């Protein structure tokens, strides 16, 4: 039993192929690797010079959260009242922070009064005023001012929707201080950021805003964005990002009790799961599979997100020669297609299964039950993370020199 009071023991297999051999599943199956999740969490905790807040929105499954807790995660970046409620139920003693820049009044009141939340993100004066109203002008609130960062440095560009300028940030810091509140600063460089220098640049903006405001920060939060390895260019090692963050922090004047935070999501949990789908029909070089855009595979619509894949053939083995394929998802909607190309055994056929790796991030939270299709089966596997290899690269991702 976990701390939510619900059993989370999953069927266990050596690997996805062993699961397929025994189960022959009709529906997609998520293959979780708790040992991988725990090790990755421990790597973040040991390498970051502050508190590591797991971004719950990335994958809130209880067995995922349990594995991260085992790796030392004690703080959580929550973006909604249901996320706060789930974390509080599973880990009552955990640190929990309301990191969405725009919140309903009802959510603010409940977070403050019922769940003991004291840290709230803002990027607009009206939001700061809203938080003050909903907490009864309490003095124990910490206002986290979110700055906008340079765009174009990540696969998912988060600019435009959230974040304020340096000048606006300085004004928000002064507003918080004038109300007797402590204040901190945060930013998000974008999801799947491949350039460590982006953190140095963003921390430079933080330093400018603090200098302009004349306010000492209670917290500096470098956000998320830490990448994982997909098919294509290899992500820099985590140490490169930690070194860049240290360089950026060294240029900021801050008190000795200023807390440091980061908010990994994708970079922490992507390698902790794969999803196994079944081929229902082959039409030339397109495969109709039982999961798709409205299910676990929404991320594949984005350039730069290219999961590793391999064919699993019950009772046999597919060709060693690879060929490019596209996917059609199971729904009747024509938008439910993924062009790829995805390099798979050239003789892939109906009844084969495809293991799709690096699928621990965002797969379960973006799925829907559109047309009645829903990926909801889980198992645990004992092998290592399913990482990309050079052979999985489609022709357009192979450098000309090769």
| Of 125, 150, 133, 2, nearest in space to 63 by CA | 2
pTM of the prediction?
0.94
Contacts of residue 283, defined as CB under 8 A and 6 or more positions apart, other chains included, come to none
Q: Do residues 95 and 204 both lie within one domain? A: yes
Q: 289 pLDDT exceeds 70?
A: yes
pLDDT band at 134 (very low <50, low <70, confident <90, very high): very high
Q: 45 pLDDT exceeds 90?
A: yes
pLDDT, the chain, mean: 94
From CA 371, how far away is CA 396, in angstroms rounded? 34
- Residue 387's alpha-carbon distances to 76, 308, 320, 338, 396, in angstroms, are 26, 6, 18, 20, 19
The pLDDT score that the predictor gives to residue 4 is 47
Q: Do residues 192 and 280 both lie within one domain? A: no
Q: 128 pLDDT exceeds 60?
A: yes
Q: Label residues 118-138 b or e (16+ Cβ within 10 Å = b).
A: bbbbbbbeebbebbbebbeee
CB atoms within 10 A of CB 233: 13
Domain annotation covers residue 236: yes
Domain annotation covers residue 320: yes
For residue 274 the two structure tokens come to 């794969």
Average pLDDT over residues 24-35: 98
Q: 339 pLDDT exceeds 80?
A: yes
From CA 282, how far away is CA 278, in angstroms rounded? 11
Q: Residues of the chain with pLDDT > 70: what percent? A: 94
Q: 2 pLDDT exceeds 90?
A: no
Q: How many domains does the chain have?
A: 2
Say if CB 309 and CB 356 are below 8 A apart.
yes
Strands 273-283 and 353-356: antiparallel
Q: Residues of the chain with pLDDT > 90: what percent? A: 88
| Residue 201, burial from CB neighbour count under 10 angstroms (0-12, 13-18, 19+) | middle
Q: Do residues 58 and 78 both lie within one domain? A: yes
The pLDDT score that the predictor gives to residue 233 is 87
Q: 1 pLDDT exceeds 60?
A: no
Q: Do residues 218 and 356 both lie within one domain? A: no
**Which residues share a beta bridge with 273?**
32
Average pLDDT over residues 149-162: 72
pLDDT band at 390 (very low <50, low <70, confident <90, very high): confident
Q: Do residues 329 and 215 both lie within one domain? A: no
Q: 């082959």: which residue's tokens? A: 282
Among 211, 245, 269, the domain-final residue is: 269
pLDDT band at 156 (very low <50, low <70, confident <90, very high): low
Q: CATH number of the domain at 199, please.
A: 3.20.20.10
Average pLDDT over residues 215-238: 95
Domain annotation covers residue 214: yes
Q: 């050079």: which residue's tokens? A: 390
The whole domain housing 113 covers 35-269
Q: Do residues 74 and 135 both lie within one domain? A: yes
The pLDDT score that the predictor gives to residue 199 is 96
Q: What is the pLDDT of residues 251-275, one digit of tens each?
A: 999 999 999 999 999 999 999 999 9
The pLDDT score that the predictor gives to residue 154 is 67
Average pLDDT over residues 126-154: 92
Q: 66 pLDDT exceeds 70?
A: yes
Q: Do residues 189 and 241 both lie within one domain? A: yes
From CA 391, how far away is CA 402, in angstroms rounded? 12
Among 269, 294, 309, the domain-final residue is: 269
Domain annotation covers residue 186: yes
Q: CATH number of the domain at 296, please.
A: 2.40.37.10
From CA 117, how far away is CA 133, in angstroms rounded? 15
Among 269, 301, 332, the domain-final residue is: 269
Q: Do residues 166 and 259 both lie within one domain? A: yes
Domain annotation covers residue 255: yes
């Amino acid at each position: 039993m976990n701390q939510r009071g619900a059993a989370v023991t999953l069927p266990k297999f050596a690997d996805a192929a062993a699961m397929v051999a025994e189960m022959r599943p009709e529906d997609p199956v998520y293959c979780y690797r708790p040992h991988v999740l725990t090790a990755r969490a421990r790597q973040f905790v040991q390498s970051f010079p502050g508190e590591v807040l797991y971004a719950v929105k990335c994958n809130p499954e209880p067995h995922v959260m349990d594995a991260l807790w085992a790796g030392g995660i004690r703080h959580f970046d929550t973006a909604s009242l249901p996320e706060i409620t789930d974390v509080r139920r599973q880990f009552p003693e955990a640190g929990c922070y309301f990191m969405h820049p725009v919140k309903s009044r009802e959510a603010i009141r409940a977070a403050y009064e019922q769940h003991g939340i004291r840290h709230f993100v803002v990027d607009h004066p009206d939001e700061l005023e809203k938080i003050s109203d909903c907490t009864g002008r309490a003095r124990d609130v910490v206002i986290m001012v979110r700055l906008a960062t340079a765009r174009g440095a990540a696969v998912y560009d988060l600019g435009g929707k959230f974040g304020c300028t340096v000048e606006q940030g300085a004004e928000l810091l002064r507003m918080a201080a004038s109300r007797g509140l402590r204040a901190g600063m945060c930013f998000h460089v974008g999801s799947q950021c491949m350039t460590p220098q982006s953190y140095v640049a963003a921390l430079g903006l933080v330093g400018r805003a603090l200098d302009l405001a004349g306010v000492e920060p209670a917290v500096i939060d470098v956000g998320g964005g830490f990448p994982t390895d997909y098919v294509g260019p290899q992500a820099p090692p985590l140490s490169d990002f930690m070194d860049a963050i240290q360089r950026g922090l060294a240029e900021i004047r801050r008190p000795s009790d200023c807390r440091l935070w980061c908010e990994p999501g994708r970079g922490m949990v992507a390698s902790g799961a794969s999803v196994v789908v079944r081929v229902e029909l082959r039409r030339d070089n397109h495969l109709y599979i039982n999961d798709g855009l409205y299910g676990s595979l929404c991320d594949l619509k984005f350039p730069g997100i290219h999961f590793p894949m391999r064919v699993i053939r019950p009772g046999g083995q597919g060709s060693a020669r690879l060929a490019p394929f596209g996917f059609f998802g199971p729904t009747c909607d024509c938008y439910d297609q993924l062009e790829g190309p995805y390099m798979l055994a050239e003789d892939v056929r109906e009844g084969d299964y495809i293991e799709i790796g690096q699928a621990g991030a965002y797969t379960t939270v973006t799925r829907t039950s559109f047309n009645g299709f829903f990926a909801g089966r889980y198992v645990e596997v004992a092998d290592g993370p399913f990482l990309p290899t050079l052979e999985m690269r489609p022709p357009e991702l192979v450098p000309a020199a090769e």
